Structure 1
C-alpha cells in the first residue's frame, strides 16, 4: 500500500506541475497576442511629428513623419529577405529641420550594393518608431572596423552614429537603391507550441504513472 501511495503521489504531483507549465504558456500566448494586436493598431495610426522625447514603451511602433536630410554616416546590419537573400539593413544618420540627429532604418540592400556610396540629401520620411529586440545574449558583438552589425541595438548604433537613441523605420523607399522594409507587428510567438509540449508531457507522465500502478498490482496478484 505504501508503494502505491508513493507512486500515486509522484504521478499526481508531476502531472500537476507539467499541466501548470502548459496553462502558464497559454497565459503567455494571450499576453503575446495582446501585444501583437496593440502593435498592429499602433502601426495603422496617422503619422504625427516626432515626439520631443520618444518613450520606448509608449511610442513603440508610433507612426511619425520627419523632415530634414540624410547624412552620409551609416551602419550596416546583416539581414536577409526571402526574395533577394542575404544583404544588409542600412541605418543612416538623419538631421531634422530643427537640428535633431536621429537614425532612419532605410531598408535593405544586397551584399553587392552594401558599399555603394549613398550621398546625403534632403528628405521627408514617414515611418514608425521602434526599439527592435534583435540583439540577444547569443548575438555577436558588432565588428565596428568592418561596419558589420548583427542586430539593431539602438543604443549602440546611436553611439556609433552620434545621434539620439531614436530609430525611425521608413515605410517607403528613400532612394539610393535601398528597398524599404516597413515595421510590422511580428513577434516571435512559440507559446502555443510550448503549451502543447507541456500538455503532452503531462499526458505521458500520467500514462507512465498508471502503468507503474498496474505493474505493482499485477506483481501482488
Structure 2
C-alpha cells in the first residue's frame, strides 16, 4: 500500500509540475507576442525628427527622418543573406544639419563590393533607431586592420567612427546608395520559442503520467505462481 501511495504521489506530483511549466510557457508566449506586436507598431509608425537628446531605452525602434551628410569611413559587419550569400552591413558616419554625428546602417553589400568606393555627401535617410544586442562572450573581436566586424556593437563602432552611440538603420535613402540594399529593422530575429517549450513540457507530462500508470498497473497485477 505504501509503495502504491508513493507511486501516486510521484506520478501526480511530477505531472503537475510539468503541466505548470507548460502553462508558464504559454503565459510567456502571450507576453512575448505582446512585446513583438508593440515593437512592430512602433517600427511602422510615421517617422519623426531625431530627438534632441536620444535615450536608448525610450527611443529604441523609433522611426526618424534625418538630413545631413555622409562622411568617409565605414565599418563592415559580416552577415549572410539568404539566396545571396556572405556580405557586409555598411555602417557610415553621418553628420546632421545641426552638427551631431551619428551612424547610419546603410544596408547590405555583397562580399565582392566590400571595398568599393561609395558616394558620400548630402542625403536624407528614413529608418529606425536601434541598439542591437548581437554580441556575447562567443563573439570574436573585430578585425580592425581588415575592417571586419562580426556583430554590430554600437558603442565600439561609435568609438571607431568618432560618432555618438546612435545607430539609424536605413529604410530608405535619398539619393539611394549604389550597390547597397537596405536591411530595415524587423522583429524576425527576436527569439520566441515559448510554444515549442510548452509543447515539450506538456508532452513530458503525458509521458510521465503514462509511465506512472504503467508502474501502478504492474504493481497491482496479481502474481502468477510458477
Same fold (TM over 0.5): yes
TM-score in terms of structure 1 length: 0.93
Over 3 Å counting, the alpha-carbon distance change for 1:113 and 1:219 in structure 2 is farther
Match status 1:103 vs 2:103:
yes
* Residue number in structure 2 paired with 1:214: 217
- How far residue 150 of structure 1 moved from its aligned partner, in angstroms, is 1.6
- How far residue 219 of structure 1 moved from its aligned partner, in angstroms, is 5.5
Q: 2 CA distance for matches of 1:166 and 1:195?
A: 38
Unaligned runs of 5+ in 1: none
If you compute each CA radius of gyration, which structure gives the higher value, 1 or 2? 2
Unaligned runs of 5+ in 2: none
- How far residue 135 of structure 1 moved from its aligned partner, in angstroms, is 2.3
Match for 2:208 among 192, 205, 208?
205
Count of residue pairs brought into register by the alignment: 221
- How far residue 152 of structure 1 moved from its aligned partner, in angstroms, is 1.4
Q: 2 CA distance for matches of 1:123 and 1:27?
A: 45
Please identify, of 100-109 and 3-12, the stretch whose mean Cα deviation from structure 2 is larger: 3-12
* SS in structure 2 at match of 1:3: helix
* SS in structure 2 at match of 1:48: coil
* Residue number in structure 1 paired with 2:32: 32
* Residue number in structure 1 paired with 2:45: 45
Q: 2 CA distance for matches of 1:9 and 1:145?
A: 64
Over 3 Å counting, the alpha-carbon distance change for 1:198 and 1:184 in structure 2 is same
CA RMSD of aligned residues (A): 1.7
- How far residue 52 of structure 1 moved from its aligned partner, in angstroms, is 2.1
* Residue number in structure 2 paired with 1:175: 177
Match status 1:7 vs 2:7:
yes
What CA deviation, in whole Å up to 9, does each residue of 1:37-93 have, x standing for no partner?
111111121111111222223212111011111111211111122232211111111
The structure 1 segments of at least 4 consecutive aligned residues displaced by more than 3 Å after TM superposition are none
